[in-house]
Amino acid sequence: MFCTRKVNDQVIWVGASDRRLAKFENLFPVPRGVSYNSYLILDDKTALMDTVDADVADRFLENVAATLDARALDYIVVQHMEPDHAATLARVLERYPDAQVVCNAKTLDMIGRFFPSLQLRSPMIVKDGDTLALGERTLQFVFAPMVHWPEVMVSYERKDKILFSADAFGSFGAIDGALFDDEADFDMEWKDDARRYYVNIVGKYGAPVQTLLKKAAGLDIRTICPLHGLVWRKDLAKIVELYRKWSSYEPEERGVLIAYASMYGNTQNLAELLACRLADRGVRALRVCDISVTDMSELTAHAFRYSHMILLSPTYNGELYPQMETFLSDLRRLALRARTVALCDNGAWAATAAKQMRTQLETFKDFRILDAQIGIRSALRADDLSAVQALVDQIVESME
Ligand code: FEO
């Protein structure tokens, strides 16, 4: 049965949620599922804003048919042709063969690469700033390359002042009926997934996101309709401010991510001792993560969230513990910058993990690596406590 929500009487959400997908992009766990948003505009002309992933195609096609209610589909606007939004394009065109695809030249080229058997009849190729009149409503296309792929554009609808924002301002998480930000508790239920989505999907592309934010600042936007997650119609400033921080690599809060690897529990002992001593000193934003069991997408999101990190790694076959190597490599890939880091290592012999982490992190932009460092030799001993105290002192001083 079709299942839609009204953004307003003429703009209808016709998307669907996948609650069975294990990993988005086959990389990022989505235990709360993920929504693929699509919107149908009903004016003198009808326009479908993107399609959806193949896994939810049947429900989506029901939604479109019920919303059109026997009207013709005039346009399909392809803002972003990644298959989570374009995989159903062919099925839509089978049902509505007279619909005209509206996209830019790069999108058209990429559609040909991903879907070589799909022949588009007379697509409308638009340029940055072009408009499409639908009746009372007019779409204005704003190119947003690398948010998240090079062909991405967003669309501003002038009458209702809606920004159809493609991947920007989206989130992991299925829609639990509540589609709008004022119907859901974003801070409690969505923020962590919105951050994890941002960091891992577009985190690397801070500068293009900032460019889009500047373009958006010149538009009078009352509603943001992204391709994933909540529709924003009340507290738009909240998600825009988060995007400003995330895209400028500014931490959300002064706090410490303590990320450790521990083979036998001794490095964990040090991680927890550091957390307790920092809490004693009044640090309230603390997160201790075992990197062997915490998903990398979550660790990277924590790294974007907090101002500080303490990284603890055993030396393993003369190298870093493998998951720590992966974590550092992910942070480099996502271009994280401007964090304060303290290092600890463990090794029964030839411990070099802290030195290796320092060498890597010295190449990260605007990272401050504290001098205080702890090296334990298998288990913590009483004579390690002065080093623990010194490291805690440096962390606290650096937060002032
Ligand atoms: Fe949701 Fe870049 O696709």
Cβ 256 vs Cβ 226: under 8 Å = no
Nearest one of 178, 187, 173, 318 to 242, comparing CA atoms: 187
Residue 227 Cβ contacting ligand 1 at under 6 Å:
yes
The pLDDT of residue 227 is 98
Give distance in angstroms: CA of 106 to centre of ligand 1: 16
Mean pLDDT, to the nearest integer, of 358-386?
A: 97
Nearest CA to ligand 1 atom 3: 82
- For the Cβ of 167 lying below 6 angstroms from any atom of ligand 1, the answer is yes
DSSP single-letter state for residue 311? E
Q: How far is the CA of 13 from the centre of ligand 1 (A)?
A: 17
Q: What is the mean pLDDT of residues 385-394?
A: 98
Q: Supply the DSSP string of 170-223, one letter for each residue.
A: --SB---S--BTTTS-IIIIIHHHHHHHIIIIIGGGHHHHHHHHHHHHTS--SE
Q: If you average pLDDT over residues 189-204, what whole number do you get?
A: 97
> Which atom, in ligand 1's list, is nearest to the CA of 201?
2
pTM for this predicted structure = 0.96
With a 6 Å cutoff on the Cβ, whether 82 touches ligand 1 is yes
**So what's the pLDDT on residue 108?**
97
Distance 84 CA to ligand 1 centre (A): 6
Provide the CB-side half-sphere exposure for 330 (13 A, CA).
Answer: 23
Taking only the tens place, the pLDDT of each residue in 73-105 is: 999 999 999 999 999 999 999 999 999 999 999
* C-alpha distance from residue 171 to each of 180, 194, 206 (Å): 13, 4, 17
The CB of 151 under 6 Å from ligand 1? The reply is: no
80 CB less than 6 Å from ligand 1? yes
**In angstroms, what is the span from residue 341 Cα to ligand 1's centroid?**
32
Query: pLDDT tens digits for 143-169?
Result: 999 999 999 999 999 999 999 999 999
Ligand 1, closest atom to CA 152? 2
Alpha helical stretches, state H, the chain: 57-68, 83-86, 89-95, 105-114, 191-197, 206-217, 236-247, 266-280, 296-305, 322-333, 353-361, 385-398
- The whole-number pLDDT of residue 386 equals 97
The pLDDT of residue 214: 97
Q: What is the pLDDT of residue 76?
A: 98
- Residue 348 Cα to ligand 1 midpoint, Å, equals 46
Ligand 1 midpoint to CA 186 (Å)? 21
Confidence of residue 58 (pLDDT cuts 50, 70, 90): very high
Instruction: Kindly report the number of other CB atoms within 10 A of residue 61's CB atom.
Output: 20
Please provide the average confidence, as pLDDT, over all residues in the chain. 97
At residue 15, the pLDDT reads 98
Interacting residues of 112 by C-beta distance below 8 A, sequence separation 6+: 118
Mean pLDDT value across residues 245-274: 98
Q: Mean pLDDT over residues 302-308, rounded?
A: 98
pLDDT band at 302 (very low <50, low <70, confident <90, very high): very high
CB 308 within 8 A of CB 399: yes
Q: What is the mean pLDDT of residues 324-339?
A: 98
Find the 174 Cα to ligand 1 centroid distance in Å.
15
How far away, in angstroms, is 202 Cα from ligand 1 center? 9
Q: Give the CB-side neighbour count of residue 359, counting CA atoms within 13 A.
A: 8
Q: Count CA atoms closer than 13 A to 249's CA, side-chain side.
A: 21
Report percent pLDDT > 90 for the chain.
99
Q: Which protein residue's CA is at the shortest distance from atom 1 of ligand 1? A: 167
Task: Please give the average per-residue pLDDT across 272-289, as a whole number.
Answer: 98
Cα separation, 111 vs 333, whole angstroms: 27
Under 8 Å between Cβ of 274 and 288: no
78 close to ligand 1 (CB < 6 Angstrom):
no
Question: Does the C-beta of 85 come closer than 6 Å to ligand 1?
Answer: yes
Q: pLDDT class for 327, splitting at 50, 70, 90?
A: very high
Average pLDDT over residues 346-372: 96
